Amino acid sequence: ATSDGLKRGLNVNDLQKPIQVPVGKATLGRIMNVLGEPIDMKGELKEEDGSAVEIASIHRAAPSYEDQSNSQELLETGIKVIDLMCPFAKGGKVGLFGGAGVGKTVNMMELIRNIAAEHSGYSVFAGVGERTREGNDFYHEMTDSNVIDKVALVYGQMNEPPGNRLRVALTGLTMAEKFRDEGRDVLLFIDNIYRYTLAGTEVSALLGRMPSAVGYQPT
């Protein structure tokens, strides 16, 4: 999923459909790119019975208001400080801020483990613009902590084109939505949001859009 070899004047085929990526339990414990292709050298994605993996479009309509819950429910993380001082609301968004080496990854691993153990849920990690070393370290830390089979990893790393880095968050979101539709609790991690915004700015500039006052894309 790189842009190597692309140049002006090449013929392209319009597939008449958006990016489609694998979803479901077959993605757990695997590392994939923005197109849902495995990049962990473990072979093709397959279901437990050997059948083909279900695929879904990264662009889909949001659930109707009738399908959404009108009550607020807290997600017990099992981490006392979080549950007391900053409780998570199901369906909500939370920012995790901190400097280097203060324990963000450890926190994420605990959340992934607890959501699996206490709620039979899964997690999806979308690495947006990460360094290759960071992605590799995160995978091995997940493996050493025995939680790798509870999380799907999607990477659009720093050395990839901005279009890949911008869309990889949607790839992760699509995989998380599948678990949501199955009625499971699911945590979606996007690391990090600054590089996601930066990728959007790069794409916006390449499309010739007029930037905002501080240089971000107009959308």
Domain with residue 173: its CATH number is: 3.40.50.300
The residues near 113 (Cβ < 8 Å, ≥ 6 apart) are 145, 147, 150
Please tell me which residue in 25, 76, 104, 184 is annotated as part of the active site. Answer: 104
Range of the domain at 171: 20-58+86-206
Give the CA count within 13 Å in the CB-facing half-sphere of 42: 11
pLDDT digits (tens, 9 = 90+) for 86-102: 999 988 899 888 887 88
Q: Residue 48 falls within a domain, yes or no?
A: yes
Q: Residue 64 falls within a domain, yes or no?
A: no
Return the sign of the alpha-carbon dihedral for residues 48, 51, 52, 58: negative
Q: Residue 42 falls within a domain, yes or no?
A: yes
Please tell me which residue in 130, 150, 178, 195 is annotated as part of the active site. Answer: 130
User: Could you confirm whether 66 is annotated as catalytic?
Assistant: no
User: Could you confirm whether 184 is annotated as catalytic?
Assistant: no
Whether the link from the prior residue into 164 is cis, omega within 30° of 0, is no
pLDDT at 2: 67
pLDDT digits (tens, 9 = 90+) for 116-155: 888 888 999 999 998 888 888 889 988 888 889 999 999 9
Q: Residue 217 falls within a domain, yes or no?
A: no
Residues of the chain with pLDDT under 70: 1-2, 213-215, 218-219
Please tell me which residue in 131, 133, 182, 209 is annotated as part of the active site. Answer: 131
pLDDT at 205: 83
Q: Residue 80 falls within a domain, yes or no?
A: no
Beta bridge partners of 21: 56
pTM over 0.85: yes
How many domains does the chain divide into? 1
User: Could you confirm whether 131 is annotated as catalytic?
Assistant: yes
Q: Residue 11 falls within a domain, yes or no?
A: no
Q: Where are the beta strands (DSSP E) in the chain?
A: 20-22, 31-32, 55-57, 74-75, 88-89, 122-128, 151-156, 186-191
Beta bridge partners of 131: none
Residues 87-113, buried b or exposed e (16+ Cβ, 10 A)?
A: ebeeeeeeeeeeeeeeeebebbbbbbb
14 CB-contact burial (10 Å; exposed 0-12 / middle 13-18 / buried 19+): exposed
Q: Round to whole Å and give the CA distance between 103 and 87.
A: 18
Q: Residue 199 falls within a domain, yes or no?
A: yes
Q: Which of 177, 118, 129, 131 is nearest to 152 (CA)?
A: 177
Angle, helices 162-181/193-206, rounded to nearest 10 degrees:
130
Beta bridge partners of 161: none
Q: Residue 14 falls within a domain, yes or no?
A: no
